[in-house]
Amino acid sequence: MVKEKGKMKEKTMEAKTATLLKHMMDMELQRLRASLNADIVLFVGVDGRIFVANMPNEMNSKQFYMFNLVKAMLPSICEQLQNENLRVSIQQYPEGTLFISGVGKNAFLVSVLAGDKDITKTVAMVTEPLQASEVMLHILEQRSMEPEELAKLPKDVAEEIQALSRQLFVEQFDQTRGYKKNMKILDWLKKKLNDAVGLGAVDEIMTLMFNELGTSAPYMKDSLWRVMVERIVQEHIKKLRGDVVADECYKDWMSELEQMLKSFI
């Protein structure tokens, strides 16, 4: 979606598919790992399944020890989450420190800092996994990311979700169904125009139409494609090729356009 903010467009996107949901969670785990300077961050379900993991490709001995420790502790953590409504736990060992923070009643985050750490400094970092847990819960429950919904959240959590939605747009918009549909229709329309008026006029007509509609191909809606095709035929094809050709184009193009739009429903 594209949101207006003053005179500027702030492009953001919600995670409305499983793929986008997973990518947004990946981004938040990456942010949490960086903010804590953690070695491993895991998002785990109450049944012990690891849904998302952000960890080194190759682990050293302390990282490997702590990872195995977490796996051995999963049944106990899951039980605490289910029975005791675990919110946060800090556990320190000679080989490293664990932050365990609940994400609602059905999941939790585990942040692993390998190596011996200063407990005073470590405890002060607990706000980071707590914030990340609130962000992950919002994403997991697929709540709205509209401003009025985010306004109900703590400011730092709302700002993080907004930043993630902007990042998601930048990284994943060209993989969405809507984008692919629009690019397919754009290619189709350019070929139709080329056949009707010749290659030289295609870019000029398309640029003029997008300027008049106040948008560009990636952000077109179905209704705008209908308006665009009709105006191209009535204002350009008719002028360049005459009424007979324009009438044939209108009949054929509008029919094909509707078929393409329906194929993406």
pTM of this structure: 0.71
Most confident of 9-13, 17-21, 27-31: 27-31
Bridge partners of 98, per DSSP, are 91, 112
249/265 Cα distance (integer angstroms): 24
pLDDT digits (tens, 9 = 90+) for 158-213: 999 999 988 888 888 888 888 999 999 999 999 999 999 888 899 999 999 999 99
Spell out the residues 6+ positions from residue 185 whose beta carbon is closer than 8 angstroms to its own. 220, 225, 257, 260, 261
Averaged pLDDT for residues 37-53: 94
Instruction: Return the H-helix or E-strand segment holding 125.
Output: none
Q: Give dist(CA 74, CA 50) in Å, integer.
A: 10
The H or E element that residue 107 is part of is strand 107-114
SS3 at position 84? helix
- What distance in Å separates the CA atoms of residue 37 and residue 33, rounded to the nearest whole number? 6
Q: What is the dihedral of CA 126, 127, 132, 135, to 10 degrees?
A: 150
